[in-house]
Amino acid sequence: MITLHQVSKTYENSDQKAVKDVSVHIKKGEFFVLVGPSGCGKSTLLRMIAGLEEISSGKLLINNDAANHLQPKDRQLSMVFQNYALYPHLTVEENILFGLKVRKIAKTERQKRLVEAAEMVGLTPYLKAKPRELSGGQRQRVALARAIVSEAPICLMDEPLSNLDAKLRAQMRVEIREIQQRLGITMIYVTHDQIEAMTMGDRMMVLNKGEIQQVGTPLDIYNHPANEFVASFIGSPSMNIADCEIDAVQKIARVGGLSISLEGPISKGLQQTDIRVGIRPEHINISEQGQPVTVQSIEVLGNESIINFLVGNHIWSAKVPGQMKYKRGDRVCLQFQMDNLHFFHKSTKEVIVLDNEREVVAI
């Protein structure tokens, strides 16, 4: 178990905190993802857990024991870096076993762990090769095998797949998740890729400018974003968001030239002007009963298409099934799923919470 309590990081000659008062409890055996844009503090937070960065303030507990001042070697963890950190003059076998040799693990035990780890990540035929003879995916597997043989109960990963192509990234996502579940280790995984976060994590923490935006399961965060940043960061394409005016009499939300229908309880509760509305592209359908919009561009992705259209001064997107043949300037009728609307405070950017009856319970 790992517990962070009000953990912060401030660098010398800087008034800004790179990490601000982060508190979270990571359970034993959990796959926990730190996700956010570049510069949000996720790698700094990971390095503080590893002991590679000093914690400026706050407490780090590992299995309920204070760990702020423990040396990295005493924290019972392994780490996989973005650049693999392999020794180019050593073979794959020597790279995998390097840490065990330093810890003076018996040779028979080293070989036993090597065979198991190499088989697990598919490196058995390459044990005598040098890193330069391997592909990017194979080098990543060497770094992963090195973490596995350590048998540390905690594994930290810092954007390990960012140097790989899209197909290999998808394959490695599955493999890493499978290995984590098989070994039952606690894994903390840093990424800026929200697809990795959504598909791999048991839970995830969304960070921005060093601050926690939301912690929860991927589906909770996708379905119930806490604020505009989370809503726009999680999901591809991003959630469509714009200012709106609520007409309680006609029970509609006016957004640019669009009029989105609202149920009675929603329209009554949203009688204020300081509101923004959001809807995900996959919650917009083509329908003859919908409202006409002008196509700006279209992206055909094989089994689905993304229609981009103008709403006021904003480009919105609709993700629809099939291979659409529209061109720029064509008119298409779109329907907005009322049950999947999100409302945000214009000033604070925080979500306006709706209960299960779609009535506003907090504004």
- Please give the pLDDT value at position 356: 46
Q: Which residue has the higher pLDDT, 132 or 84?
A: 132
Q: Is the pLDDT of residue 220 over 90?
A: yes
Q: Where are the domains of the chain?
A: 2-232, 237-362
Assigned CATH for 237-362: 2.40.50.140
Q: What percentage of the chain has pLDDT greater than the value 90? A: 53
The answer to whether 344 and 275 are in contact (CB under 8 A) is: yes
Q: What is the mean pLDDT of residues 188-211?
A: 93
* 3-state DSSP assignment of residue 42: helix
Ramachandran angles phi, psi of 142, nearest 5°:
-65, -45
At the second CATH level, the architecture of 2-232 is 3-Layer(aba) Sandwich (3.40)
Q: What is the mean pLDDT of residues 99-103?
A: 87
pLDDT one-digit tens code per residue, 221-273: 999 999 999 999 998 899 999 988 887 777 888 888 888 888 755 655 565 66
Tell me the pLDDT band of 353, cut-offs 50, 70 and 90. Answer: confident
The answer to whether 184 and 208 are in contact (CB under 8 A) is: no
The answer to whether 254 and 222 are in contact (CB under 8 A) is: no
- Please give the pLDDT value at position 271: 58
Q: What is the mean pLDDT of residues 330-347?
A: 90
Tell if the pTM clears 0.85, that is, is over it.
yes
- Rounded Cα–Cα distance for residues 86 and 90 (Å): 8
pLDDT one-digit tens code per residue, 1-58: 899 999 999 988 777 889 999 999 999 999 999 999 988 999 999 999 999 999 999 9
C-alpha distances out from residue 158 to 42, 49, 218, 248, 275, Å? 9, 12, 19, 49, 38
- Rounded Cα–Cα distance for residues 236 and 90 (Å): 41
